[in-house]
Amino acid sequence: MGWVLLGVGLLLACYTLLRHGLRQAPPPRARPVLRGRTAIVTGGSGGIGAATALELARCGARVVLATRSAPRGEAAAHRIRTETGNAEVRFMQLDLASLRSVRAFASAFLRQEPQLHLLINNAGVSAGGMTEDGFSLPFQVNHLGHFLLTQLLLERLQSCAPSRVVIVASSAHCAGHLCLDTLGRPPPGLLSTFQDYCDSKLANVLHARELATRLQGTQVTCYAVHPGFVNTELFRYAPLWLKPLILPLAWLFFRDAAEGSQTSLYCATHEGLECYSGRYFTNCGLQEPWPPARDDRLARALWEASERLVGL
């Protein structure tokens, strides 16, 4: 019995060292005052989005949780209002897998909300089928839906400037490869699911880069962020055979949602980042993305292709 207890103790010690040694989450920072400022957080009902929305509400911001599920969105908004004492937290329905829903959300928001200072493009999926618009689910949810949403809200962001757009990307962009002729279609090959996700994350980083170029002089700035490896529902659409491999790793080594939200919050609220608009951040600091994500010609071509695909 003694050997068993010793073995269990050693396993727990190893787990603790690995979990806290490998995650390397950035330290929490002092809370800014955000009273009078309005934020949208896509995917705000769970995971990194909910953690981001919670912290923005604690800072006094008016927060709109833009998420697909009405029951989950309403529950999250209620939970955040209760926990923070901030009554200015509401849910609005948004399904990024439907361009029709994106347009409906933007129209409703612009009618109902006079201000917008922070747009946190956080929602994402790692795998899935095809959307009603004929695109792969990851590419539309992660990039095209957010691209359209940002464009539809851009005038409001400019009228309320200084304002910021934060795009949650990933270090997975390093494996991305964008073929503009087949943009939005699932890539071929055995690793199609993984490649599709990586392509969408490369598109996220390039979107921030080109958006910054087009917004120069407007006092609207934007940032792409890698939140770290976070234990969320991102992989809920992953193939069943892959989940037994992912879940133990996520449980052991990935950050929790609050830790994963730190870089998004840093880029949304930290003073003095305006000169870094369009750049890529991780662990609350600048990092150079992989060379394809620094290709200005590719960023411009992606923008133009995305405009065509979403009907702008």
- Annotated catalytic residues are 197
Q: How many Å apart are CA 135 and CA 144, to the nearest integer? A: 9
DSSP 134-160: SSBHHHIIIIIHHHHHHHHHHHHHHHT
Look up residue 79 and give its two tokens. Answer: 């939970």
Look up residue 183 and give its two tokens. Answer: 């943009």
**In terms of DSSP bridges, do strands 280-282 and 285-286 run parallel, antiparallel, or are they unpaired?**
antiparallel
Beta bridge partners, 93, equal 67
Q: How many Å apart are CA 77 and CA 285, to the nearest integer? A: 30
What residues contact residue 47 under an 8 Å CB cut-off, 6+ apart?
230, 232, 233, 234, 257, 260
Residue reference for tokens 């969105």: 73
- Closest alpha carbon to 124 in 54, 63, 55, 196: 196
For residue 276, the tally of other CB atoms under 10 A from its CB is: 14
What residues contact residue 144 under an 8 Å CB cut-off, 6+ apart?
99, 133, 135, 184, 306, 309, 310
